Amino acid sequence: MLIVKSTGNQLMSALRELSEVKVAVVGLGYVGLPLAVELSRRFPTTGFDISKARIDELNSGTDRTLEITSEELAGVSQLTFTDQLEKLAGCNTYIITVPTPLDDHNSPDLSALKAASTSIGSVLATGDVVIYESTVYPGATEEVCVPILANISGLSFNQDFFVGYSPERINPGDKEHRLPLITKVTSGSTPATADFVDELYGSIITAGTHRASSLKVAEAAKVIENTQRDLNIALINELALIFERLDIDTEEVLEAAATKWNFLPFKPGLVGGHCIGVDPYYLTYKAQEIGYHPEVILAGRRINDSMGRHIADRLIKLMTQHAINVVDSKVLVLGLAFKENCPDIRNTRVIDVVNVLKEYNVDVHVHDPWVSQAEAFAEYGITLTETMTPSTYDAVVLAVAHDCFVEMGSAGIKHFAKPQHVLFDVKRAFPKHEVTARL
């Protein structure tokens, strides 16, 4: 299929046939690497990352994110990795999957997205397509990224080059909902581009695609997916705070309510990671920019952002009630990753628990066998405890329910605590009679 773009009375070739596609995936993290692997089964694909260490790691057949196995890396012949921008010059379809986190003021940090757009602008050629997967607020692709591409390349938008947006839906650590099995939302800056983007993803996504009418619609769909989950969890977190004061077990209440057919099964907890704890702020940023102050979304964010302090404060209260001296006490926090059975520590809210405990002059030890020592120190200044000593800790917090922790059982975890101790089960992994308290 040859797609053409009409400019006045002149017809010009706009996009290549799908069989001629040569893909570059820019950013090889949790999103980019699985995408590059899947695309390379169908198209010649180059994976680009600015980190030489990451490229060397992948070339050696290792993925520290654990999203792709060594066997999968070895099984794709059309995939190459590079940190040299000039090696992307032969590509004609660029997919940008770089991180879009928050800054210290909970505003969008688009620095990596802008840098990637600048890099791709320098190698962009007539007829090329740039597709963004990074989470952004509605309008960001056209307002922020396109001007950079046009300025750096000297090409005209929607005449010489074209843009698509297809939001990522990767769930780190989830081996069931893998990329080909998740419906892909697609969009393009022109109808012809939208056709091209949809066909491109449709060739690798067995679950099918959903074509949005515009880039903005696709961008908005991404941020509300996680905003909805954030608000649902915020509601349950607030209910947990209420039930705690009423001396009612939250889990028992949720189990009873769940007997109704349309009750949604959310649970209380820390809300972190690269999506749920971030995306709502992208939406509220844009809303405030256009003069609307979102109340419900920000209220949910305030509740979820406060849970780390609540957990730490409650632990201190429990220790005091058990006649445990808080100052210089030793507390073991099990888990630093933002979710179970995953090495990802981006935006983990466990760090809030750790930091508040340190405010009480507690000696906090963090143990997480899933997490890289180097990444934990670089990101949060934490030196992980690799070996736990029996009968050492005044309190233990199960912050992340990795299988390895749950399999230890409450008795196995208590083995590392002193006879007089507190065991706070944040994740409700154990029956309430086996622990001091649960969230």
Look up residue 238 and give its amino acid.
E
| Spatial distance between the Cα atoms of 120 and 98, rounded to a whole number of angstroms | 12
Residue 10: strand pairing partners? 7
User: Which position has the token pair 């809210």?
Assistant: 349
Token representation of residue 119: 């890099």
The secondary structure element, H or E, covering residue 104 is none
Please say whether the beta carbons of 402 and 335 come within 8 A: yes
User: CB under 8 Å to 411, separation ≥6 — which residues?
Assistant: 434
Token representation of residue 175: 């081996």
| Spatial distance between the Cα atoms of 278 and 286, rounded to a whole number of angstroms | 13
Conformational region of residue 328, where left means phi above 0, alpha means psi within -120 to 50, and beta covers everything else: left
In the chain, % helix, strand, coil (3-state, to 5) comes to 40, 15, 45
Residues in the chain: 439
- Beta strands 417-425; 363-367: pairing state: unpaired
Annotated catalytic residue: which of 91, 275, 342, 404? Answer: 275
User: Which position has the token pair 């393009």?
Assistant: 188
Look up residue 251 and give its amino acid.
E
User: CB under 8 Å to 431, separation ≥6 — which residues?
Assistant: none
The secondary structure of residue 277, as a DSSP letter, is T
Phi, psi of 62 (to 5 degrees): -125, 135
Token representation of residue 6: 């009409």
The CA dihedral of 383, 376, 172, 203, to the nearest 10 degrees, is -140
The gap between the terminal CA atoms of the chain, to the nearest Å, is: 56
Is 342 marked active-site?
no
Q: Which of 394, 252, 268, 250 is nearest to 321 (CA)?
A: 394
Q: Which residues are catalytic?
A: 275
